[in-house]
Amino acid sequence: MSTSTAPVTTTVAPLVITGTGVLSAAGHGIGTLRPSRAAHEPAPADLSGIADDLPPIALRAVADLNAEEYLGGKGIRHLDRTTKLALVACARALRELPVLLADGDKPRTGVVIGTSTGSIRSSSEFSRDTLIQDKPYLVRANLFPNSVMNCCAGQIAIRSELRGVNATIAGGRLSSLNAIRYARNVILGGHVDRVLVGGVEELCPQSAWGWHVSKALTATAAVGEGCAVFVLEPPESAQAAGRAPLAEVLACEVSSTGGERGSLASTLARCVERALARSGVSAGQVGAVSLGCTGHVGLERVEERGLREALGVLPGRVLRVTRQLGETFSAGGSLQLASVLASWQEQGDDGEVAVVTSLASDGNVGCLVVRRPSPRLPE
């Protein structure tokens, strides 16, 4: 049964995004996701560092993942790709803040990362070792830390000396939106002053073959990877520190059909309506939507149908970043949000409000409402 019938609270305290760190097949930085670049397919990346036994499908990898540039050479040899992607994205987000965090800010700064199951490759390879190695199961001990789901978030906190709330959110395709919702709650609950929040997904044989065998994607869809991380904080905190906001984060809602797939579109529509009501904005104010199911068999039309039911009509700007980056699963929602910010940097006619949506075949749906700050984003 959907939870979207619960009473709607029409007031939310906006939070602001003041920093971003983005890695994807399109490149490094939020500017690589601007609409003018979306039509250009990313250059083929060298996949030899990922694996040789990949399926015969389109694959989109992050190129030039030079972790040493951001993290130094010490202690990164045994880090998996998931952790490296997130560490570099977080380092970029913190370095590119208009006013850097002071040492006194770090005890009240948290980390919330959305993921599928952590590094699928690390956990799979560690489990495989227990079956193929000589008894008494001489597994490679150095693989164990990477097999723990919260390894990534823990490494971020350790290396950046952030001592606030540290959480890993596993919610499948909705992981990024669930992470943003969680981050919002811990900030408004007074547990931390700001959060480094986002989603990450690595490209590996295990996940790539899973997509290939499942036939869940269309024949032309690619499988990708990436990470997008945002510095999220109250507007008062950002103003006091002199950090100009890139966007205002309003409501973030999630819901479920309760296993009834036939009601997926209507459940998404109710979720969007609830998020808009809590944000205090109308459907007519939505100038852009960022869709998450492009390339998914069956789900792409369901997502569009749900949005039309909620908004009346799709707005003039419809962002489909998956076409450019490939299916990035748990990082999808964060990269969709990054594409909204990139569009605002480049476009002047997207309106003041954007909606990010995500849904999955298991019946879970989510919606995030963001508003362009005033003055508009700097170039």
* Judgement on whether residues 193 and 212 belong to the same structural domain of the protein: yes
Residue 109 lies inside a defined structural domain of this protein: yes
Residue 9 lies inside a defined structural domain of this protein: no
Q: Which of 211, 241, 271 is the last residue of a domain?
A: 241
Q: Which of 241, 273, 299 is the last residue of a domain?
A: 241
- Please write the tens of the pLDDT for every residue from 253-296: 999 997 665 699 999 999 999 999 999 999 999 999 999 999 99
Residue 155 has what pLDDT?
93
The CATH number that applies at residue 68 is: 3.40.47.10
* Judgement on whether residues 300 and 364 belong to the same structural domain of the protein: yes
For the chain, percent of residues with pLDDT exceeding 70? 91
Residue 10 pLDDT grade (very low, low, confident, very high; cuts 50, 70, 90): low
Contact (CB, 8 A) for 332 and 233: no
Run of H or E including 275: helix 264-279
Q: Which residue has the tokens 């495989």?
A: 128
* Judgement on whether residues 156 and 265 belong to the same structural domain of the protein: no
* Judgement on whether residues 95 and 215 belong to the same structural domain of the protein: yes
Run of H or E including 20: strand 15-24
* Judgement on whether residues 235 and 270 belong to the same structural domain of the protein: no
* Judgement on whether residues 320 and 364 belong to the same structural domain of the protein: yes
* Judgement on whether residues 256 and 237 belong to the same structural domain of the protein: no
Range of the domain at 126: 16-241
Distance CA 354, CA 272 (A): 11
**pLDDT above 50: residue 199:** yes
Residue 157 lies inside a defined structural domain of this protein: yes
Angle, CA of 101, 105 and 110, to the nearest 5°: 95
* Judgement on whether residues 32 and 179 belong to the same structural domain of the protein: yes
Domain count, the chain: 2
Contact (CB, 8 A) for 62 and 23: yes
Angle, CA of 259, 265 and 266, to the nearest 5°: 90
* Judgement on whether residues 261 and 223 belong to the same structural domain of the protein: no
- Please write the tens of the pLDDT for every residue from 173-191: 999 999 999 999 999 999 9
**pLDDT above 50: residue 3:** no
Q: Are strands 226-233 and 194-201 parallel, antiparallel or unpaired?
A: antiparallel
* Judgement on whether residues 285 and 334 belong to the same structural domain of the protein: yes
Residue 320 lies inside a defined structural domain of this protein: yes
Report, as an integer, the average pLDDT of 191-203.
Answer: 97
Residue 7 lies inside a defined structural domain of this protein: no
Residue 377 lies inside a defined structural domain of this protein: no
58 token code pair: 């389109």
| Phi, psi angles (nearest 5°) of residue 25 | -65, -20
Highest mean pLDDT among 6-10, 41-45, 113-117, 274-278: 274-278
Quote the strand ranges of 32-165, DSSP E. Answer: 109-115
Residue 376 has what pLDDT?
42
**pLDDT above 80: residue 162:** yes
Residue 58 has what pLDDT?
93
* Judgement on whether residues 113 and 205 belong to the same structural domain of the protein: yes
Residue 376 lies inside a defined structural domain of this protein: no
**pLDDT above 90: residue 4:** no
pTM listed for this prediction: 0.91
- Please write the tens of the pLDDT for every residue from 11-67: 788 999 999 999 999 999 999 999 887 766 666 676 777 877 889 999 999 988 888
Give 125 or 275, the one with higher predicted confidence.
275
* Judgement on whether residues 29 and 177 belong to the same structural domain of the protein: yes
